[in-house]
Amino acid sequence: MRLNIGQAFGLVRLLVGATLVVLVSSARAQVDPFPEIARAYLVELDGAPLWARHADEALAPASLTKLMTALLAAEAGAADQIVTVDDDAAAETGSRIGLRAGDRVRAGDLLAATLIGSANDACGALADWVAGSRQAFVERMNRRAAALGLSKTAFTNPCGHDAPGHLSTANDLAALAAEAMKVTAIASLVKRIDGEIATVDGTRRFRFDNRNALIGRYPGAVGVKSGFTARAGKCVIALARRDGHSALVVLLNAPDRWWTAHALLDRAFAHAGAPSVP
């Protein structure tokens, strides 16, 4: 088969484009100065990747999953709507604030408990309220993930329990965090040191600290979410702002996640003031 000039030109453009994609992809993936700190990690400065390791490897994301649940709940609006906690939500295990079936709580308060306290009972109640069922909510989660271009992310539950096929990547989670932080309701909650909510009738109160240990401890930390399961290990998405710069760290299965995140944020900000890549 003979190509005419137009076809040949198009082919060349295609090849050049593909080469560029490969080069850009490998440039994103290759700068890994800290191979020992986590199974996978990603550090971004002002939205641009600085360092990464296995950032496209699909791993268990634990409670970082709740960012998607929070995003869908926040996008559903009506924070003042009253949610009645159902049996499934009340039976949630792991991190919880102690909701009981029949408790009536405002959706905005459940969102706070989900994001700040990483409470699975609040998370489950939110998911059930938003979609009517867990299965329907999970379908929404995966549709939203696809719409965001999170190509290696798949959810099987709203709160991050270990389960076959419940996976995401450092790159996808960074994109999810960026999307979630655009929502004022979420951004204002994930930077709080602690929170307190109550049932609508005021008879039961729930107090919780932010599970993200960097909040209130790392200067400039403004979010966003931590997580832990046996399969995922210790995880965190940490966002800090300083001197007009924004640094994001995603750590998946990082044994010393707080110290590591702290040091990586420091280095990212130092990099912002440095003339060249270390």
Which residues participate in catalysis according to the annotation? Answer: 63, 66, 118
In angstroms, the Cα distances linking 114 to 67, 83, 151 are 9, 14, 25
In this structure, how many other beta carbons lie within 10 angstroms of the beta carbon of residue 105? 25
Q: How far is the CB of 81 from another protein (least distance, A)?
A: 25
Least separation, in Å, of the C-beta of 69 and another protein?
A: 11
Instruction: Select 115 or 175, whichever has its Cβ closest to another protein.
Output: 115
The CA-based angle 101-103-106, given to 5 degrees, is 130
Of 6 and 164, nearer to another protein (C-beta) is 164
- Smaller CB distance to another protein: residue 84 or 88? 88
Minimum distance between the CB of residue 234 and another protein, rounded to whole angstroms? Answer: 8
Q: Could you tell me if 225 and 237 are in contact, meaning their C-beta atoms sit under 8 angstroms apart?
A: yes
Minimum CB–partner distance for residue 159 and another protein (Å): 6
Spatial separation of the C-alpha atoms in residues 218 and 258, rounded to whole Å: 10
Instruction: Please give the Cα distance from 156 to 228 (Å, whole number).
Output: 17
Site for another protein, rule CB under 8 A: 34, 36-37, 62-63, 65, 93-96, 118, 120, 159-162, 209, 211, 213, 217, 226-232, 234, 256, 258-260, 262-264, 266
**Which tokens is 1 given?**
């088969």
- Closest to another protein by CB, 12 or 274: 274
